[in-house]
């Protein structure tokens, strides 16, 4: 079974909470859709609402993560033979772990990391950037709302189907476990410039990043260490 998963949260830290979770499961041609707002007792900051458009009023009477239909489906299908497909799987699965101790036992395909491996010429690898770069929107059969959990799960499914044209499923699984050697910075004062170049002209900045940015993307950390 393939399970396309997405979450929306109150923020990006481990202390933040899931406020929306959705999945699309595909098995033997059958499509199963689950989608829930979640109330884990943490107020949604305005900044988070401005991105995912979920308000405190919308989750006021919603179930906890463990009591939701979506989580129940994940628990029932948490077996080795099933595969979760997610854009930035470490984040989604990390949030499930920090919110309720959930540990996925099956296979994992990270469409963000595999895109970095297979489409290194892309300037960015956010889900919405790839949606337009690869013209996935032409394959959409209904309205897609960015940063809506179910919509993002649908776009992730389309991206996965595109990646299958570049590599088979077992290779996507393997690439999902391998660090990406990134060529350029995607953000910050050196955005768009080669990491190798910066290692020669501003080595101290890279060393500062490694020492001071605790939540530094693991692929960026790997790439900086490689160039240093």
Q: What is the pLDDT of residues 186-212, one digit of tens each?
A: 878 888 888 999 999 899 999 998 998
The whole domain housing 165 covers: 2-175
Q: Using an 8 Å Cβ cutoff, are 117 and 172 in contact? A: no
Distance CA 15, CA 206 (A): 27
The answer to whether residues 98 and 9 belong to one domain is yes
Q: How confident is the model at residue 185 (pLDDT cuts 50, 70, 90)?
A: confident
- CATH for 107: 3.30.420.10
Pick the last residue of a domain from 150, 175, 200. 175
Q: What is the mean pLDDT of the chain?
A: 92
User: What are the tokens at 221?
Assistant: 């950390």
**Structural domains counted in the chain:** 2
Given a contact cutoff of 8 angstroms between Cβ atoms, the answer to whether 19 and 37 are in contact is yes
149 with 215, same domain? no
Residue where a domain stops, chosen among 157, 175, 193: 175
Residue at a domain's end among 175, 200, 216: 175
Please give the pLDDT value at position 5: 98
Per-residue model confidence as pLDDT tens digits over 91-100? 999 999 999 9
Contacts 24+ apart (CB under 8 A), 64-70: 64/38, 64/39, 64/40, 65/18, 65/21, 65/38, 65/40, 65/96, 65/99, 65/100, 66/100, 68/21, 68/36, 68/38, 69/34, 69/36, 70/21, 70/22, 70/23, 70/34, 70/35, 70/36
Same domain, 186 and 96: no
Considering the domain architecture, whether residues 206 and 130 belong to the same structural domain is answered as no
Indicate if 35 and 111 belong to the same structural domain. Answer: yes
Q: Quick one: pLDDT at residue 14?
A: 81
Tell me the helices (H) and strands (E) count for the chain, helix number first.
11, 5
Same domain, yes or no, for 41 and 128? yes
- pLDDT (tens digit per residue) in 15-39: 899 999 999 998 888 899 999 999 9
Q: How far apart are CA 143 and CA 73, in angstroms?
A: 25
pLDDT of residue 104: 97
Rounded to whole angstroms, how far apart are CA atoms 177 and 109? 9
Question: How far is 123 from 129, CA to CA, in rounded Å?
Answer: 9
* pLDDT of the residue at 28: 83
If asked whether residues 9 and 84 sit together in one domain, one would say yes
Are residues 56 and 147 both part of a single domain?
Answer: yes
């Amino acid at each position: 079974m393939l399970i396309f998963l997405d979450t929306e949260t109150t923020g990006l830290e481990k202390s933040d909470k899931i406020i929306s979770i959705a999945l699309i499961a595909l098995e033997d041609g059958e499509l199963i859709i689950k989608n829930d707002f979640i109330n884990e007792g943490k107020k949604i900051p305005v900044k988070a609402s401005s991105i995912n458009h979920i308000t405190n009023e919308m989750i006021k009477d919603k179930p906890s993560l463990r009591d939701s239909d979506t989580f129940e489906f994940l628990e029932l299908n948490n077996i080795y033979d099933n595969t979760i497909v997610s854009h930035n799987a470490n984040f989604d699965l990390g949030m499930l772990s920090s919110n309720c101790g959930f540990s996925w036992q099956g296979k994992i395909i990270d469409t963000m990391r595999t895109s970095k491996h297979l489409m290194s010429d892309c300037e960015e690898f956010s889900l919405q950037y790839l949606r337009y770069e690869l013209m996935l929107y032409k394959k959409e059969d209904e309205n897609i709302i960015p940063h809506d959990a179910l919509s993002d799960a649908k776009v992730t499914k389309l991206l996965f189907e595109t990646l299958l044209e570049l590599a088979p499923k077992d290779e996507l699984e393997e690439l999902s476990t391998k660090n990406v050697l990134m060529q350029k910075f995607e953000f910050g004062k050196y955005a768009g410039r080669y990491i190798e170049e910066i290692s020669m002209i501003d080595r101290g900045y890279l060393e500062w990043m490694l020492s001071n940015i605790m939540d530094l993307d693991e692929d960026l950390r790997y790439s900086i260490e490689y160039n240093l």
